[in-house]
């Protein structure tokens, strides 16, 4: 529990503050519209549905203001790399940007539902009071004339006008329908299944957010909720004149017919600043993506993996960072994230595995030897949690399949650092676990691991890097062959001195061993892999961390981009 608090105290504090602000804004707006004299006459028609609609609108504006900020990747990278306040525990919270983006999206969905339901009640009550002939206050208010220079309260101008007609012909109604449909498309296309299996569908649909925000800016201009003007309240104060509504037209009465005004549009004020910030973010990303990229080497690896080694003037990176790649000949709009597999000391490279239409088309294009090398656009690099590897005395790196890429960058950087005798590494020990389904996958970084083995031996640092390779998919014939050759110096699968294990790691045993070997150190656990594996590792981090903060502590970090 103690380690969980150390890892997540800032996240919990931030979420509590965010939820608290949502509650405060909702309650404050609700009470304002439920009690304010300005809306007394409006409540005579709409009842409490008025307060529900406006309170949810206030929360919607607040969360729409926040929804774009977690996607300003340059801003997050700046905070991660420049501001010392964000070091260690606080800095790591920046890696939860996607999780917070989703939470804000869910909150928007919740308040959108409340807002829509409340306004459906409002429109129904507007319609009912417009059709009423009972002489009630609501009926009188709804029948105030719709004339120039004479304000009115009920937006439904005729008893024959239906709610459906108002919904699809008014500015507020039509834009409300448009932004609701856009929101539904964005949320449904962002589901895990669609995002992983049909990334292109997710990518294109999610960019409807442009229509969403344009519609949002227009939505408030044609509001259907009106309140009494300040000047009118001097001639018709509801607390004095409401009960004499049947005498409002009497010239001798001191109570004049009330006049009303629409609420000023507010949505654009909430989204203006983050919108400008996001526009600058996209301009910067577009500018960087237009800079020339030279492909220096193309390597086709087993298991449909393409390695691209590239050079770009002024490109500067840190270990574990990622870039967005665009290939205009395949799609002029799509940009996909890939972790850099190179070290900062060399030209940058990425490994691309065929997992969808876009990656398959890209690999197929590079496989065609007689066609010109396609042009590549690169945006980035952007920071990730893996940048913090060298901040820990002991690091545990866990890669699943192609998820090994950020750790390839780290291992290469270690190799370069050990080339210089004046290197200053805080890290004393690295445990590296690579879990693959296919035997051919280990060939992606065989040369790197072999070089590291040799380098550690020559420098007398054999114990610095402890790596283990796990194969989860194999046939019985190969397993038998491997068992017969287990006594050989090198592994028959990889050619490395470290033998390949068949099956999955027993994480309890691994963490117990690490905790025993480093009883007083901070251990950073880094994962690039599936969520199921993340849950197992996070649980082990909490389980094997000591309650005494002076003893071993495991800090879990997961790649998210």
| DSSP states of 36-88 | -GGGHHHHHHHTTHHHHHHHHHHHHHHHHHHHTGGG-HHHHHHHHHH-GGGSH
Residue 192 falls inside a structural domain: no
- Among 252, 282, 312, residue at a domain's last position: 282
Across 340-440, the runs of DSSP E, i.e. the strands, are 348-353, 377-382, 394-400, 429-436
276 and 319 assigned to the same domain: no
Reading phi first (left if > 0) and then psi (alpha if -120 to 50, else beta), residue 304 is in left
My answer on whether 12 and 38 are in the same domain is yes
Distance CA 417, CA 345 (A): 9
396 and 262 in a common domain: no
pLDDT at 150 over 70: no
Q: Rounded to the nearest 5 degrees, what angle is found at the Cα of 355, between the Cα atoms of 436 and 309?
A: 80
Statement: residue 420 has pLDDT above 70: no
Would residue 538 count as lying in a domain?
no
Of 308-312, 354-358, 523-527, minimum mean pLDDT range: 354-358
How much is the pLDDT for 502?
Answer: 81
Task: Tell which residue, 351, 358, 364, has the closest CA to residue 399.
Answer: 351
DSSP designation for 149: T
- The SS3 assignment for 296 reads strand
Tell me if 275 is assigned to some domain.
yes
Please report which confidence band the pLDDT of residue 85 belongs to, taking 50, 70 and 90 as the band edges.
very low
Judge contact between 3 and 542, C-beta under 8 A.
Answer: yes
Asked if pLDDT for residue 373 goes beyond 70, the answer is: yes
Give me the mean pLDDT over the 183-193 stretch: 90
| 275/294 same-domain check | no
In the block, residue with structure tokens 């807002």: 115
User: Can you read off the two tokens belonging to residue 309?
Assistant: 């080694």
Statement to judge: residues 312 and 431 lie in one domain:
no
Q: Which of 83-87, 139-143, 175-179 has the highest mean pLDDT?
A: 175-179
Q: Are residues 122 and 240 in the same domain?
A: yes
Structure tokens at 343: 């070290």
- pLDDT (0 to 100) of residue 102: 92
Residue 33, H or E segment: helix 2-35
pLDDT at 84 over 50: no
Q: Are residues 326 and 246 in the same domain?
A: no
CATH of the domain at 313: 2.40.30.10
Side-chain half-sphere exposure of 120, counting CA atoms within 13 A = 7
Q: What is the DSSP string of 502-543?
A: ES---HHHHHHHHHHH-TTSEEEEEEES-HHHHHHHHHHHHH
> Is 80 a domain residue?
yes
**Domain C-terminal end among 282, 304, 325:** 282
Residues 264 and 295 in one domain: no
User: Has residue 300 been placed in a domain?
Assistant: yes
Average pLDDT over residues 437-443: 73
- Would you give the distance in Å from CA 61 to the centre of its chain? 18
Smallest Cα–Cα separation from 491: which of 439, 429, 430? Answer: 439
Q: Is residue 262 a part of any domain in this protein?
A: yes
Q: How far apart are CA 430 and CA 407, in angstroms?
A: 11
How many structural domains comprise the chain? 3
DSSP result, 311-325: E-TT----TT-EEEE
> CA angle 5-11-13, nearest 5°?
85
Domain termination residue (choose one: 246, 262, 282): 282
Q: Are 206 and 195 in contact (CB under 8 A)?
A: no
Q: Is residue 178 part of a domain?
A: no
Q: Are 524 and 388 in contact (CB under 8 A)?
A: yes
**Mean model confidence pLDDT for the chain:** 82
Whether 366 and 269 map to the same domain: the answer is: no
Is the pLDDT score of 117 beyond 50? yes
Q: Token digits for 32?
A: 């304002």
Q: CA–CA separation, 540 vs 363, rounded Å?
A: 38
Neighbours of 107 (CB within 10 A): 20
Q: 168-172, 210-214, 384-388 — which is least confidently predicted?
A: 384-388
Where is pLDDT greater, at 499 or 475? 499
Does residue 88 surpass a pLDDT of 80? no
Which residue range(s) make up the domain with 141? 2-170+224-282
Domain shared by 230 and 110, yes or no: yes
Residue 368 has pLDDT above 50, yes or no: yes
Could you write out the three-class secondary structure of 89-140? HHHHHHHHHHHHHHHHHHHHHHHHHHHHHHHHHHHHHHHHHHHCCCCCHHHH
Around 42, how many Cα atoms within 13 Å sit in the side-chain half-sphere? 30
State pTM to two decimals. 0.80
pLDDT digits (tens, 9 = 90+) for 97-109: 888 999 999 999 9
Query: Is the distance from CB of 127 to CB of 138 less than 8 angstroms?
Result: no
pLDDT value at residue 407: 82
Q: How confident is the model at residue 177 (pLDDT cuts 50, 70, 90)?
A: very high
3-state secondary structure of 227: strand
Do 284 and 351 contact (CB within 8 A), yes or no?
no
Q: Do 262 and 121 fall within a single domain? A: yes
404, 447, 444, 475: which is closest to 303 by C-alpha? Answer: 444
With respect to residue 537, please indicate whether it lies within any of the assigned structural domains: no
Percentage of residues in the chain having pLDDT higher than 90: 16
Q: Which residues pair with 350 in a beta bridge?
A: 308, 340
Length of the chain, in residues: 561
**What local confidence, expressed as pLDDT, does residue 561 receive?**
61
The confidence band for 386, taking pLDDT boundaries of 50, 70 and 90, is confident
Distance CA 539, CA 556 (A): 9
Are residues 361 and 265 located together in one domain of the fold? no
Task: Examine the pLDDT at 230 and tell me if it is beyond 80.
Answer: yes
pLDDT given for residue 200 in this prediction:
78
Coil, strand, or helix at residue 355? Answer: coil
Q: What is the pLDDT of residues 289-317, one digit of tens each?
A: 888 889 888 888 877 888 898 999 888 88
Rg (CA), the chain: 31
Residues 6+ apart with CB under 8 A from 290: 377
> Does the structure show a pLDDT above 90 at 493?
no
Burial 439-464 (b: 16+ CB within 10 A, else e): bebbbbbeeebeebbebbeeeeeeeb
Contact 134, 186 (CB under 8 A): no
Please give the distance of CA 29 from its chain centroid, rounded to a whole number: 28
CA atoms of 200 and 122, how far apart (whole Å): 39
3-state secondary structure of 380: strand
Helices and strands, number each (H, E), in the chain = 21, 14
């Amino acid at each position: 529990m103690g380690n969980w608090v150390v890892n997540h105290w800032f996240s919990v504090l931030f979420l509590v503050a965010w939820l608290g602000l949502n509650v405060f804004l909702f309650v404050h707006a609700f009470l304002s519209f439920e009690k304010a004299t300005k809306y007394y006459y409006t409540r005579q028609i709409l009842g409490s549905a008025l307060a529900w609609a406006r309170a949810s609108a206030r929360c919607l504006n607040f969360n729409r203001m926040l929804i774009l900020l977690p996607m300003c990747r340059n801003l997050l990278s700046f905070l991660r790399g420049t501001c010392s306040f964000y070091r260690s525990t606080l800095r790591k919270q920046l890696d939860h940007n996607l999780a917070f983006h989703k939470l804000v999206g869910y909150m928007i969905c919740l308040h959108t539902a409340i807002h829509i339901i409340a306004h459906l009640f409002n429109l129904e009550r507007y319609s009912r009071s417009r059709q009423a002939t009972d002489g009630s206050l609501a009926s009188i208010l709804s029948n105030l004339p719709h004339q120039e220079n004479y304000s009115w309260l009920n937006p439904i101008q005729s008893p024959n006008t239906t709610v459906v007609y108002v919904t699809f012909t008014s500015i507020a109604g039509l834009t409300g329908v448009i932004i609701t449909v856009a929101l539904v498309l964005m949320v449904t296309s962002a589901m895990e299944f669609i995002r992983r299996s049909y990334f292109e569908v997710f990518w294109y649909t999610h960019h409807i957010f442009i229509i969403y925000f344009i519609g949002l800016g227009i939505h408030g201009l044609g509001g259907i909720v009106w309140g009494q003007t300040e000047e009118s309240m001097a001639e018709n104060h509801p607390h004095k004149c409401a009960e004499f509504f049947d005498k409002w037209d009497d010239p001798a009465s001191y109570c004049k017919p009330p006049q009303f005004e629409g609420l000023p549009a507010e949505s654009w004020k909430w989204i203006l600043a983050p919108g400008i910030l996001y526009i600058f973010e996209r301009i910067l990303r577009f500018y960087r993506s237009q800079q020339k990229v030279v492909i220096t080497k193309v390597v086709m690896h087993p298991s449909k993996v393409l390695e691209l080694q590239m050079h770009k003037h002024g490109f500067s990176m840190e270990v574990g960072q990622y870039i967005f790649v665009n290939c205009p000949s395949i799609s002029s709009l799509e940009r996909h994230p890939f972790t850099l597999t190179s070290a900062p000391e060399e030209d940058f490279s990425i490994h691309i595995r065929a997992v969808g239409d876009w990656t398959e088309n890209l690999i197929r294009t590079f496989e065609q030897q007689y066609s010109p090398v396609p042009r590549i656009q690169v945006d980035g690099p952007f920071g990730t949690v893996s940048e913090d590897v060298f901040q820990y005395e002991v690091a545990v790196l866990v890669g699943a399949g192609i998820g090994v890429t950020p750790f390839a960058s780290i291992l290469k950087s270690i190799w370069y650092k050990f080339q210089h005798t004046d290197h200053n590494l805080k890290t004393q020990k690295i445990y590296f676990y690579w879990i693959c389904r296919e035997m051919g996958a280990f060939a992606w970084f065989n040369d790197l691991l072999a070089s590291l083995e040799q380098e550690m031996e020559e420098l007398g640092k054999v114990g610095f890097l402890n790596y283990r390779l796990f194969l989860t998919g194999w046939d019985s014939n190969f397993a038998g062959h491997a068992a017969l050759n287990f006594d050989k110096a090198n592994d028959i699968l990889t050619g490395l001195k470290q033998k390949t294990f068949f099956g999955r790691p027993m994480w309890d045993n691994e963490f117990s061993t690490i905790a025993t070997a480093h009883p007083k150190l901070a251990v950073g656990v880094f994962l690039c892999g599936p969520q199921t594996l993340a849950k197992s590792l996070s649980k082990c981090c909490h389980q094997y961390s000591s309650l005494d903060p002076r003893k071993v502590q495991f800090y879990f970090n997961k790649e998210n981009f």
